[in-house]
A and B are shown apart, each in its own frame.
Chain A
Amino acid sequence: MRAAQPARWRETAGLLLLLLPGLGLIVLFIGTVISMAVAQSVGYFNFSGPSGFTLDFWHKQLTSPILRTSVLYSLKIATISAILSVALAYPLALWLRKPFPGSGAISALLKAPMMVPGLVAAFLLVNVIAFHGIINETLLGLGITSKPLRMQNDRFGFAVIFLQVWKQLPFALLLLSAAVQSIHDDLLNAARDLGAGALARFRKIVLPLTLKSMQAALIIIFIGAAGDYSFQVVAGPTRSSSLAQHMYTVQREFGQWNEAAVVAIVLMAIALTGSILLAAASQLAVSWGKK
């Protein structure tokens, strides 16, 4: 076993070398940037007065009821959006698994929304659901309603969730398509021959084999939705505030950069832990479903 020691040392060095260009770069740059944000949250980088250590900004924000409700609202939107996007992407990915005439074009078109910038998507949706938008005019024209419905800025956040799914579903589809395509046909055929139904094949073969891709999709979508600002300000409920919206309100409307940094750190922590918990939960669900 003694001989293993130098080998282990070399292994560690090799590992570090591998991690250096990717993770190393991230830790170096983002680590610095985050420590600057932390420094600002405790009173440094004060643009409108003297800088110096203080926990006042943390105290002010952590006791603010708006921060609490914003955290809950953002968690709600992010969780629902991530799960819904992935749930809708699976059937599509499976359907497009085997090439058929036109499948490439369909797949490319389905991914078009990810190319539309968020703010543009938001204004398109708001146009469609506007007071005299096409949905209301159609309903009126068909005599289904007698006066236009006010759908803009609905109280729950359906519009925001819709926009998130519209924009993020393609990312999920992209990742899941790749995963689903690498499942070997023999495996699925064998399962079918053994009498497994479509749902059983999905639970016992597809889900476990694509779990990692699904987790990647969940994490990416959750983080994006948790930090959403542009959908929320255009189409979100006016009675709720997302974390990013709260952060920018504190910063832009009141010029409290240091407090905004506090909210930023809370936002980063929530997005990171939330996404990882969601990934862990999906792992549990899949292994439970396998049984």
Chain B
Amino acid sequence: MAALLIVVFSVILAGCGGVAVREALDQSERLPGQAAVAAVPFYPQEELQCGPAALAMVLSWSGLPVQPGDLAGEVYTPHLQGSLQSALVASARRHSRIAYPINGPEELFAEVAAGRPVIVLLNLAFSWYPRYHYAVVIGYDRPAETVILHSGTRSGERLSFRVFDNIWARSEYWGLLVLPPDQMPVAPDEKAWLAAVVGLERAEQWQAAAVAYQAAAGRWPRSALSRIGLGNSRYALDDSAGAIEAFREAVRLDPASAIAYNNLAQVLAETGRIDEGLAAARRAVELGGPHQDSCRRTLAELLEQHSGPRPGPTR
């Protein structure tokens, strides 16, 4: 009886599924009616290992051949008997890949139509009895109203729009795009992209970060932040000349960026160009802002270096 009530209640609550998914395709004029991503290898999951399996599939597609077993240690959390979203994100970064968030059917289908697989978090059961599961969307078929996924032990499983929408909506349409650092999402948001690249810095994947910032600089020619990121990554890679070039570009694009001047000053000074460095450090302090303490400290240090090692009369 209770079960029946619950079922009836659920039907009332979630009676009309599939609408969001169908509308996303119908409203977009650019998306084709059918799409299938080529060359996504299928790795059937072992028990509870859908996270490592899903990530291994997209990493392999992106050009890094890995097996689910290689990733379990980085992704799976034993006591939870599953994998957290943040662990997938962190693991992708540790393998020098961009982890870019996907929200909702429109973004999902745009990527799939552009030939990219997307990891989705599904709740196969209910919010009061959750069964979370990761799968990889590899295609869709508007006429047949199906979404095609590598899921669990099933390769190329076809789910109706209705079922897929019902179970994806229960994870609030969470998706993850994993890309090599030189490739961008179909409609990238500058801040979301830079945040994803900052994640690569966090994981100390400096080479990949530099490549991704370079891509950002190409995509948003007026973005000073992408040049600051590029400068910082090159600095971490011991490429002083490249870092100076990037910071110079940053101050040209945003002459009010104290951070860009401060970092430029630091690299210039480290390469022995103290006078130029001092000028930039002074400019950073003049500009003020929330980081003026750091800028002042940089200036003080440069002044010390300037007067310190120089031979000559003291006092």
Q: Do A and B associate with each other?
A: no
Q: Which residues of A contact B (CB under 8 A)?
A: none
Q: Which residues of B contact A (CB under 8 A)?
A: none
